[in-house]
Amino acid sequence: MSQRAIDLVRQFPQERVFLIGDALLDTYLEGEASRLCREGPVPLLWKTREQHAPGGAANVAANLKALNAHVSFLSVIGNDYAGSLLRGELEDMGIDPQWLLEDDTPLTPHKMRILAEGQYVIRLDDGARQGVTVRPTNEALRTRLHQYIEELYADCDVVVISDYHYGVVSQPVIEQLTALARRKPKPILIDSQALQRFQHLPATVVTPNHAEAQRLVELGGETPAEDWEELAQQLHKILHVDYVAITLAEHGVYLRPRGDAPGLHVPTRPVENAQDVGAGDSFAAAFSLALAAGGSIEESAQIGLDNAGIAVTKPRTAFVSQQELLQRASLRTFTAVLQTQEDELERLRATLEIERLRGKTIVFTNGVFDILHAGHIHFLRQARQLGDVLVVAINSDRSTRSLKGPGRPIHSEQDRLALVAALDPVNYTLLFDEDTSSSIISTLRPDVYVKGGDYSDEAIPEAAAIQESGSRLVILPLVGSASTSNVIERIVAQQES
């Protein structure tokens, strides 16, 4: 994952999400088991803890909110104790409950998990029944539901449909969303346990797990393929979507676009003792936000996988904060940069060894090269005259900020790399992320190392690496006042005058 992933996650607070789906309450009852019950051969538990958490689409809402997005969660809850608890949990998280319609008839779907010494004993479900209940039952509430859909769709950046098949996302709701999507297309993510009902909705992506994908193909009258690519092709024949994203638990996700282009497997980081309750909700939340922020389907899926990968390290129904996801994205970026640098550095080292065998003298220098000016060109020409092959290492954006401050660089690392590589005196270029080029000098062992400025030998940060590698140090004076800092100062002065 690149720096772009970090930028996408940082943009999450600007995104407005319209989330519609089934709000569930998850309850965890924990107890200590000391003996068997006298009434039957079952453990007798002494209750030690009772925990409530948003479940189903409400967990998606909690994940979106934790990622600092603006979320409008439209759902239906019952006028009951579970509904009251769920509303309170959402309010505590800062989720506005104004879009939660309260229906007197169907009870709030409620999943109660009972644990003994941390081990699941039983799950007891209560309230509305999956695939049976239609919500809301009140005509006035149905009218309000459709009005809210119209309002929220018009004012959002991305739509998330989290359908646990408890009745909120009914056929009339799907038809309304289909008409809205055709009239004004927006990024739409569908996560449904009854995908066959969404055949005509023009969505951006659907996210079935492997079993759900196979079930949908079977409902379509075909034998589901075991091969991910063939299974994704089968789904595209059934659904009107741009992308199919088959989630594969610890194996990541398989992405396939509509059309002839092949699919892509995006692996995930393995997690020991993963807790998979709500992992799909965490994936859908970050995936949809990354799409809204302008991420590609692959970038967005990777960010979704990172979010789910953090969630499964937490016990029970959990959500991930934006800061946690930023840390994971930063770690992935740093690791990828190091790996890429190591690969490029090793290839360059091998290339330069061949140049040496041909009797060529290797000259090496490094710098930021932010705004190219006459001083840079003069310096590089002089450096090239000291040998036959000139290698230039460019500071990454991160190391430039470390050296020059938060306002730099002006140009991105890729732009700076491309500009320097295009200069006639330069033979090879590479990026580096450290504050000094000592490790590159130690690896490449250039014949000549060139530094610009008024350094003494001892003041050069790379002095030890130069001595160890046997390189000859040449310090070239800078030309007049030609420096990037001076150029920037003149530009600022002109803008202020």
State the catalytic residues: 281
Give the dihedral sign, CA 404/406/410/411: positive
Asked if residues 28 and 316 have their Cβ atoms less than 8 Å apart, the reply is: yes
In 3D, which of 345, 300, 323 has the Cα closest to residue 187? Answer: 300
**Residue 5 token pair:** 């992933």
In 312-396, which ranges are E strands? Answer: 362-367, 389-395
User: Most distant CA pair in the chain: distance in Å?
Assistant: 95
Rounded to an integer, what distance in angstroms lies between the CA atom of residue 203 and that of residue 57? Answer: 18
CA 157 to chain CA centroid, Å, is: 17
In the chain, what is the straight-line distance between the N-terminal and C-terminal CA atoms, in Å?
Answer: 42
Rounded to an integer, what distance in angstroms lies between the CA atom of residue 103 and that of residue 162? Answer: 19
Asked if residues 64 and 92 have their Cβ atoms less than 8 Å apart, the reply is: no
Asked if residues 315 and 49 have their Cβ atoms less than 8 Å apart, the reply is: no
Asked if residues 100 and 90 have their Cβ atoms less than 8 Å apart, the reply is: yes
In 3D, which of 83, 132, 133 has the Cα closest to residue 108? Answer: 83
In 3D, which of 182, 188, 180, 184 has the Cα closest to residue 148? Answer: 180
Q: What φ, ψ does residue 146 adopt, rounded to 5°? A: -70, -35
